[in-house]
Amino acid sequence: MKRLKLFPKTFLYVFSLMATISLISHALFYFMMPIVYTSQKEAKFLDTQELLIEALKNTPPDRMESTVSRFAIQYQMGIFVDRDGTIYDLMVDGTSAADGDRSLQETVDSYWSVPNDSQDTDLSYLQNDFYFQTDSQFYSGTHFDAADGSPCYLVLLATLQPVSEAKEAVIVFLPFTLLLSLLLAAIFALLYSRKITRPLSEISDMTARMKALDPSAVCRVGTQDEIGELSGNVNALYQSLLTTIDDLQEENARVSEAEAAKVDFLRAASHELKTPVTALQGMLDNMIMGIGRYRDWETYLPVCRDMVRKFGVMIQEILDASKLNFSFGQERSEEVSMRAFLERVLSPYILIARSKDIQVVTDLSADFSASFPTSAMEKALSNILANAVKYTKPFGKVGVYLDGRAVVIENECEPIPSNVLPHIFEPFYRPDFSRSRNLNSENPDGGNGLGLYITAKILNTLSYPFSFEPFDSLGGEGPSGMRFTVFF
């Protein structure tokens, strides 16, 4: 069985509720109207009797007839008064029994007898007080004394004929009012159902588009009630979902890029190690076979040992670069003073510089605070300082200072040509010019080409801009060195 949708379900529910209310209200009106009307007539009948008794008590005998006539006409009642043997009576239509209705006269002659439909045929009890009601009339009889002490007996009669007439009219008119009520219930149920279900249907349609990840899908917020709040929450949730998807896509792109870079790095590392390892293997084979100059193994074994030591350094740098993974996700950032941080990183390189007759000039007065993973940033700045000390001219200077929110490290050296600078951060890249060779250093063939590569990866991952460019000496005509600037 197919389930009904929201609109017909709401319509049927509202229409059934309103139709039930209409039926109940009509039924209550039909059954309660005679009861309420009779109760009101009875209360009015008894109040009129009290008023009439009070009026008759203070009415002299010569005005009794006019008083009875006035009450009978005003309240549409039959009145019979026996005052000390003198009888006064009037029909409900305002005419005297003697002049009009003979049936009332017969009732008066028999002391206002009960109609023939009464079960009691003994009329002597009318001399006592009584009150009863039939389907069409009220009857009441009571004794009282007039102001002059005369005994009086009052009998009242009021008809309920309008009740039966109204009931008959209601029976004729009620089906039409019931049909009209049901028609109005259907119209209002239709309007109400459409008003309630339209925004929900729109939300349902939009969520279907959101399910298909349509970026233009937005729920319309037209009210300030719960439905409007629901629309706003759905929009916020969808925007959060789209943002999360974009972040995941960017993260996947970064991971793919990192994986590609890692593969390229490993390929470069393999290629970088392959040539010296092959050379070392050839040298050892020649020494074993005693070929040529390699017969002097006492001379070439120390050379082989130095090559192995260099391999160890290179392999350690490769391992350090691979372990970085350039994410630092497990290391928390710390808020540090840049002055104190640089003083700690600089201390070993000041000693190395002094041993090479290199002057280190610092100006850390413009201190500022920054937040970053300290071990990663220490690795990056150490690589920059190591290169600055390694490639500074003898008796040259290395400058380290703070400029605004930037760390500047510069050294006097032969500037790197502009055609080489775009490649300087590639792994294992070593430009073939005199800057990369220093016969007095521990590595006369230059470095391994990983220092600046690792530095650039760390700074890019931490989203810190940097620059590496030649600088002009004070008062000089041309460039006199290189300057590395990290912006925080």
Both tokens assigned to 430: 């070593």
Say which residues have a Cβ less than 8 Å from residue 273's Cβ, sequence separation at least 6.
Answer: 311, 314, 315
Mean pLDDT, residues 166-184 = 81
Whole-number pLDDT of residue 202: 81
Whole-number pLDDT of residue 106: 43
CA trace torsion 252, 253, 256, 258 (10° rounding): -110
Whole-number pLDDT of residue 398: 92
Please state, for a pLDDT cut of 70, what percent of the chain lies above it.
Answer: 79
Q: What angle do CA 452, 457, 458 make, to 5 degrees?
A: 100
- The DSSP result for 389-423, as a single string, is HHTSPTT-EEEEEEETTEEEEEEESPPPPTTTGGG
Would the pLDDT of 417 be above 70?
yes
Task: Say how many C-beta atoms besides its own lie within 10 A of residue 359's C-beta.
Answer: 14
Please state, for a pLDDT cut of 90, what percent of the chain lies above it.
Answer: 11
* 454 and 321 Cβ atoms separated by less than 8 Å: yes
Using pLDDT thresholds of 50, 70 and 90, give the confidence band for residue 303.
confident
**190-222 pLDDT tens trace:** 888 887 777 878 888 888 888 888 888 888 777
Task: Say how many C-beta atoms besides its own lie within 10 A of residue 419's C-beta.
Answer: 8
Whole-number pLDDT of residue 385: 92
Task: Say how many C-beta atoms besides its own lie within 10 A of residue 327's C-beta.
Answer: 13
**373-413 pLDDT tens trace:** 888 888 889 889 988 998 888 888 999 999 989 999 999 88
The 3-state DSSP class for residue 141 equals: strand
Radius of gyration of the chain (CA): 58
Tell me the CATH number for domain 332-487. 3.30.565.10
Would the pLDDT of 8 be above 80?
yes
- In one-letter notation, the amino acid at residue 293 is R
**Exposure class string for 143-155: b at 16+ Cβ within 10 A, else e:** eeebeeeeebbbb
- In one-letter notation, the amino acid at residue 327 is S
Q: First CA to last CA across the chain, in angstroms?
A: 67
Is 157 exposed, middle or buried, given 0-12, 13-18 or 19+ CB atoms closer than 10 A? buried
Percent helix, strand and coil across the chain, each to the nearest 5: 55, 15, 25
Report domain extents, the chain: 232-325, 332-487
Nearest to 345 by CA among 378, 368, 376, 371: 378
Mean pLDDT, residues 11-16 = 86
| pLDDT higher at 122 or 392 | 392
